[in-house]
Chains A and B, each alone.
Chain A
Amino acid sequence: MKLPRGLPGRQELVLLGLLIGLLLLAGRLAPDFLTARAQIELSTHVWELALLALPMTLIILTAGIDLSVGSTMALCAVVFGLTFHAGWPVALDAALALAVGAAAGALNGVFVAFVRVHPLIVTLATLAAYRGIAEGISLGVPYSGFPPSFAFLGQGSVGGIPVPGLLFLVALAAVAVIVKFTPLGLTLSAIGYNETASRFSGLAVTRIKLWLYTGSGLTAGVAALLFAARRNTAKADIGTGMELDVITAVVLGGTSIFGGRGTLLGTVLGVLLIHETREFVSWEWSRDELNLIVTGSLLLVSVLADSLLSPKKR
């Protein structure tokens, strides 16, 4: 089941080109950056973003959006921290955090799919609400002191690959299988292209959307746990701004914000490009202001290029 040819292919080629260009430059200016050791260690900065980019791609494919992922992360982290602090077993705390994440996503989904409020509005409200609840119940206090077995989830590696990286690869494989080998892949694009027609064609649009947003919330819960394991802290301010970073990566990867067009490969490349650009700018020039300028410009230039070279119709 192939998505319409041409446009997605070009964007991925462009990304690949930019990536190669970046790596060539890095090779010339800072060869240490390209060593396997450096790359693997630096990769630990991006797994949460990568993970969240997966459900976000699917949501944006259906012409939706989820601005609340960062705040959901905070809420899940706080739930985890609170219950851990209360003395409950770690596994239970983690399960609860995931359940809260799924519930938060489901609430978004209910508003979007059943009540039919625009996803931008819903997730704008929950962006404030979820973080607000996290601040309220934690009073800004950080929770830490998690056991080493839990910390392994974020800090450990298996066969040289960091555990969060393995989790991401598993998730990627799972989502890719679902999208490519089940009708779901086409369904999502169809919903994005023309929701009304999809409904009339008998697609379970409402149910699908509900599952997508729930999945996004659940993924935010996983990301929260990974962060807590990696940084040994669960606090109400984590994940701030994460939603914009995720959307940047997904859109950079060629997924159209209007829905209907996009690939997982593109998202992976988008994440990779953002990550490598940021890390390299940080490595070579170590100036945070520069990082902002470069990341923003990258997004603008890349999308502009793709848009100008597309056929006229949007």
Chain B
Amino acid sequence: MTTLRDLLTRQREYGVLALLLLTLAVVGAINPAFLKIGNLRDMLVQDAPVVIVACGMTLVVVLGEIDISVGSQMALLATVLGLLTSPSHAHWPVATAVAAALGLGTLLGLINGLLVTFGRMPSIIVTLGMLTVLRGVSLALLNGQDITDLPVGLRVFGIGTFLGLPISLCTALVVVGLTVALARETPLGRRIYAAGSNPEAARLAGLPTPRLKLFAFTLTGFLTAVATIVHQTQFSVIQAGVGQGFELLVVTAVVVGGTSISGGRGTILGSFLSALMLGMVGSMLIFLRLGVSATYWERAIQGAFILVAVLADHLARQRRPRREAAP
């Protein structure tokens, strides 16, 4: 039983991996600079925030829910981080501010989770409302200013390296590793997949589905804080408009990576590969040197990528025995 499921899921990962490698090969053939180690490393660093949050989001979607508020969470977290550490504002020690940011991210995720489980609200609505409210709060807090004096101690998260690799890259890899381990090896992970794939059976078996969902949302909030800390600190200025459209990137990565929106199926690895692949589209167009007009087609190409990936998987799934549609 497990072997069959693994095979079914792995097909999507293979598909995404194939598309990823194909794109690398084609663009690399046209412009070899694309394949340089420095560029690959930079692309990984650019994708890091999406990868980090996608780990949590995968679990959320596996459980049949969704979180479209992560972009606004990031905006609020970046604003708070900036205001707390900036010498012209609260001027807290970096360590305390980072801890506060992690705490706040966890709290935001917890709120989402509580509204979904105990509030019994649909997650798309909860996170849609939070998306709007948190964006408004972050803008009101920032009040039209730029925070331009971030201390070096904070910036080190964004531009520092650990054993030669950028901290954001290391963090992303660690997060992926830990989440994969959680999903595959721990009882918690198994319960999450069980609850997601057959909620009714899970309920009858006594699985604490609400608590699992609470965990998934809280984790996502925490990971959003982590992503904010290693990503937004790359820049010297914190401004309004952080994270706009970020949730779209994350959800797309998760969904294209094979996680079924109806729950129960999907892997962290798939989300990871998919995040890398989608993150390449923008860079790809620059390296292909297609000229100025090509820029106007970038979004259309992204949409096409998504459609192709989804269609391919869908057609592949048609050939497998059809699962019974959930009532």
Contacts and interface: CB of A to CB of B under 8 A. Distances in A.
Direct contact of A and B (CB under 8 A): yes
A300 B314 CA distance: 34
A300 B136 contact: no
A297 B128 CA distance: 10
Interface residues of B, number: 45
B300 A135 contact: yes
A176 to B, nearest CB: 25
Interface in B27-71: 66
B307 A132 contact: no
B298 interface: yes
A118 interface: yes
A289 to B, nearest CB: 4
A121 B310 contact: yes
B303 A126 contact: yes
Interface stretch (B97-105, B118-126, B149-157, B267-275): B118-126
A248 to B, nearest CB: 7
A136 to B, nearest CB: 4
A244 interface: yes
Contacts of B311: 115, 117
A304 B303 contact: no
A131 B248 CA distance: 14
Contacts of A139: 293, 296
Nearest to B143: A289
Contacts of A304: 115, 119, 121
B140 interface: yes
Contact of B133 (A130, A138, A300, A308): A300
B121 A136 contact: no
Contact of B314 (A115, A195, A299): A115
A116 B323 CA distance: 13
A128 B303 contact: yes
A272 interface: no
A258 B327 CA distance: 12
Contacts of B129: 248, 296-297, 299-300, 303
A129 interface: yes
B304 interface: yes
Given A128-B299, A135-B297, A296 B132 contact: yes
Interface string B175-202: 0000000000000000000000000000
Interface in A248-299: 248, 251, 256-258, 288-297, 299
B83 interface: no
Given A289-B139, A299-B128, A196 B133 contact: no
Contacts of A28: none
A112 to B, nearest CB: 12
A159 B90 CA distance: 58
Contacts of A308: 119-120
Contacts of B135: 292
A292 B133 contact: yes
A77 interface: no
Given A289-B140, A292-B136, A125 B307 contact: yes
B262 interface: yes
Contact of A257 (B125, B298, B303): B125
A136 B296 contact: yes
A289 B136 contact: yes
Contacts of B307: 125-126, 129
A285 to B, nearest CB: 12
Contacts of A115: 311, 314
B245 to A, nearest CB: 10
A27 interface: no
In this complex, the member of B134, B260, B297 whose beta carbon has the largest number of chain A beta carbons within 10 angstroms is B297
Contacts of A120: 66, 255, 261
27 contacts: A118-B261, A120-B261, A124-B252, A125-B303, A127-B303, A128-B299, A129-B299, A130-B303, A132-B298, A132-B301, A136-B297, A136-B300, A138-B296, A140-B296, A196-B327, A251-B125, A257-B124, A258-B122, A290-B140, A292-B135, A292-B139, A293-B136, A293-B140, A296-B134, A299-B132, A303-B121, A307-B120
Interface of A: 115-118, 120-122, 124-133, 135-136, 138-140, 194-196, 244, 247-248, 251, 256-258, 288-297, 299-300, 303-304, 307-308, 310, 314
Given A129-B299, A303-B122, 7 more contacts: A125-B310, A128-B299, A129-B307, A131-B300, A247-B128, A257-B122, A314-B120
Which are the 4 A-B pairs with shortest beta-carbon distances? A132-B300, A129-B303, A292-B136, A296-B132
